[in-house]
Structure 1
Amino acid sequence: MQRKSGLLKAMAMVLSLALPTVLVVSAADARVGGGFSSGSRGSRTFSAPPSTSTAPSTASPFNRTLTQPGYNGSSGFNSPARGGFFNRGGGMLGGLAAGFLGAGLLGMLFGGGLFSGLSGFGSILGLVLQILLIVFLARMAMAWWQRRNQPAYAGATPAPDGQTFRSGMGFGGFGGANTPPLEILPADYEAFERLLGDIQAAWSNEDVGRLRLLTTPEMASYFERDLEQNQARGVVNKVSATKLLQGDLAEAWREGDTDYATVALRFSLVDKTVERVTGRLVEGGDQPQQVTEIWTFSRHPGSSWQLSAIQQAN
């Protein structure tokens, strides 16, 4: 009885520590993209885009991407990477979690209890802190290693400073501090702003066919899976009143016959999740919120721009 009581107390303590994280993850899984950094930027997928006045901080590495290090621009699209809580930040966190869970189950099988190797709250908290520290250091090392081994794009050239692009849209419009190798015209900026609103509307309407037209096959596959997860939960995410406040061109380049443009976007929107049947509010609300993300668009000759990637601003 004492062993069972200790086990229940330990499980309750772990759940209390994990609940805030679960709530944060749930709240992030709302607007289009779900708060993930997803997609591909061609050969620059593993290179951080330059900072801009709209997003002066760095962009988060991709949580979901089909591009592999050493990508040469010829790979196709397959099934998207697995998501879920333990896979959200990569395989290492899932491996650690599985390892500790396995060790706890073995302890139970041999009569030691799930947390037989721990003694009290201090040990549990210390273990959690050690795991977080190990994961943080490991992700920093992996990000450094990816940047170090990322092959340079053969067509990339340094961009001279001192020139600015403006489209006259939004609060201050699109601006850029650099002149990119690929010229981005006012009509392109208008297309980026239009895609921002159209993609949010298609997501809110759960219009998969429209999303497939506005995004690359990779991004469409992520959005479809996120919508399926919402349906399984019995909820629908409603996004409205999307308005661009500021946008900056980070970089633009060409790979083979594909053009890429990465822009930092700061926009406002009303983001709420409701129960599919009753309409009861589950997450979010009617108050507009501001979001800053880095979006990458791509196009082929004779075709329109499509969303190729979304990265979160750190």
Structure 2
Amino acid sequence: MNKVGVVSRKWTKALVVSLALGLALLPALAEAKAGGGSSMGSRGSRTYTPNTGAPVQRSLTPPPAAQPSAPPMAAQPAPGLRSEAPAMAPQASMARRNPLMTGMMAGFLGAGLGALIFGGHGFAGGGLGGVLSLVLQGLLLFFVVRWAMRLFAGRGRPDFAGAAPQSPPGPAPAPAPAHGQARQPQEFPLTQEDLSSFERILTGIQAAWSRNDVDGLRHLVTPEMAGYMAEQLAGNAARGLSNQVQQVRLLQGDVNETWREGGAEYATVTMRWEAGDFMVRIDNGAGAAGDPRSPVATTEVWTLVRQRNGGWLLSAIQQG
């Protein structure tokens, strides 16, 4: 084999390795940013009440006791009874919704790489022509996945919509309180200072997250949320990675509901924001996944809590 062929083969191997590593890191990138793309935390007595966000999957608040089910009456159902539509599952990241697609793409690249290393011809065959075909297919798959992740990441709208209430959609209404009165979307108004606080909390949390600063997070979130985020940061560190969320910009905030429980006040807000969201290696600071020059749009439903006349803290995140 001539020198040109040897050099081309080495560069091709390096390119395929890079693509394979990039696909392997796609699930990690999809779960980046503070909260890791999860729906978690506590919303007081409304923790498990349906709203505009995905159902809470992890919480210190115990779920309500299940009501005993009535015996089946398939033969002669009672008049007026109807089956309820199942609750919608939470919107997961693309890597979770399509694990087969991500696995197949990584497998294809891995198979081609193995053939290059151990002397085979990959699945394209034909020497250098087969290698170039493999590279082109790998590049195509990579950009298709990247495009799809951007498409489903959500789109922001360019302003903060003050305290305009937004009724949660869906066929299943939230259960009424025990005293029988209908719930109001907002039991108390939010001031402009409250809304500005929410924006400061958003940027402050992402900044502390990027520094791996758990103590800084504790000033902005509840102890429960600080514990969850500390676990996620430790998981990234165990893999030698640090998630950087930079140049955070709030696109729009919609107040969904406010209510009081005991001495606490709660507010739920749909936050649409964008930021550079990428992974770097802790040992040398080299980029591992994501592009800091390409902002990623995110839609999340945040619940914040404060004691009377106290400061707001993030108490729950739900994916939008």
Q: TM-score range by the shorter chain?
A: 0.5 to 0.7
Query: Could you tell me how far apart the structure 2 residues matched to 1:20 and 1:238 are?
Result: 17
Look up the match of 1:289: 296
- Are residues 1:43 and 2:37 paired? no
Deviation, 1:22, is 7.2
Superposed CA deviations along residues 9-30 of structure 1, whole A, max 9, x for unmatched, are: xxxxxxxxxx999755322221
**Partner of 2:200: helix, strand, or coil?**
helix
Residues 62-119 of structure 1: CA deviation (Å, up to 9, x unaligned)? 1211111239xxxxxxxxxxxxxxxxx9xxxxxxxxxxxxxxxxxxxxxxxxxxxxxx
Match of 1:227 in 2: 233
Deviations 1:144-168 (A, max 9, x none): xxx8996736597443xxxxxxxxx
The structure-2 alpha-carbon separation of the partners of 1:297 and 1:20, relative to structure 1 and needing over 3 Å to count, comes to same
CA distance in 2, matches of 1:24, 1:155: 48
Larger radius of gyration: 2
Between 277-286 and 267-276, the greater mean CA deviation after superposition: 277-286
Q: Is the 8 A contact 2:25 2:289 kept in 1?
A: no
- Tell me the TM-score normalised to structure 1 length: 0.57
Counterpart position of 1:65:
59
Contact 2:299/2:319 (<8 A) preserved: yes
CA contact (8 A) 1:43 1:70 kept: no
2:33 equivalent to 1:31: yes
Contact 1:237 1:273 in 2 (8 A): yes
Give me the whole-angstrom Cα distance separating, in 2, the residues matched to 1:156 and 1:262: 20
Report deviation, 1:204: 0.6
Query: What CA distance in whole angstroms lies between the structure 2 residues aligned with 1:195 and 1:204?
Result: 14
Q: Secondary structure at the match of 1:44?
A: coil
Relative to 1, partners in 2 of residues 1:236 and 1:256: Cα closer, same or farther, differing over 3 Å? same
Q: Percent identity?
A: 43
Equivalence for 1:141: none
Could you tell me whether the CA contact under 8 Å between 2:305 and 2:315 is conserved in 1? yes
Counterpart Cα distance in 2 of 1:156 and 1:201: 42
**1:69–1:150 contact (8 Å) kept in structure 2:** no
Paired positions, count: 194
What 5-or-longer segments of structure 1 have no aligned partner? 1-18, 50-57, 72-88, 90-146, 160-177
Match of 1:185 in 2: 191
Superposition pairs for residues 87-106 of structure 1, below 5 Å? none
Deviation at 1:263, TM superposition (A): 0.2
Aligned equivalents of 2:259 and 2:180: distance in 1? 8
Partners of 1:184 and 1:245 lie apart in 2 by: 19
Judged with a 3 Å threshold, the aligned counterparts in structure 2 of structure 1 residues 24 and 154 are, in CA distance, closer, same or farther, namely: farther
**Relative to structure 1, is the Cα distance of residues 190 and 24 closer, same or farther in structure 2, using a 3 angstrom cutoff?**
same
SS at match of 2:212: coil
Task: Give the conservation status (yes or no) of the 8 Å contact 2:176–2:182.
Answer: no
Query: For residue 152 of structure 1, what is the amino acid of its counterpart?
Result: P
Displacement of 1:210 after TM fit?
1.0
Deviation per CA, 1:32-56, whole angstroms, max 9, x where unpaired?
000000101111111122xxxxxxx
Q: Distance in 2 between matches of 1:155 and 1:288?
A: 46
Provide structure 2 residue ranges, at least 5 long, that are not aligned to the other structure: 1-20, 66-91, 93-171
Secondary structure of 2:188's match?
coil
Which shows bigger deviation, 193-202 or 20-29?
A: 20-29
CA deviation after TM superposition for structure 1 residue 284, in Å = 1.4
Q: Does structure 1 conserve the Cα–Cα contact (< 8 Å) formed by 2:255 and 2:268?
A: yes
CA-atom RMSD in angstroms: 2.7
Change (3 A) 1:237 1:191: same
Contact kept, 8 Å, 2:40 with 2:316, in 1: the verdict is yes
| In structure 2, C-alpha distance between the alignment counterparts of 1:277 and 1:149, rounded to whole Å | 49
Q: Who is 2:122 aligned against? A: none
Distance of 1:237 and 1:216 partners within structure 2: 21
Aligned counterpart for 1:272 among listed residues 264, 272, 278? 278
Contact 1:156 1:181 in 2 (8 A): no
SS in 1 for 2:217: helix
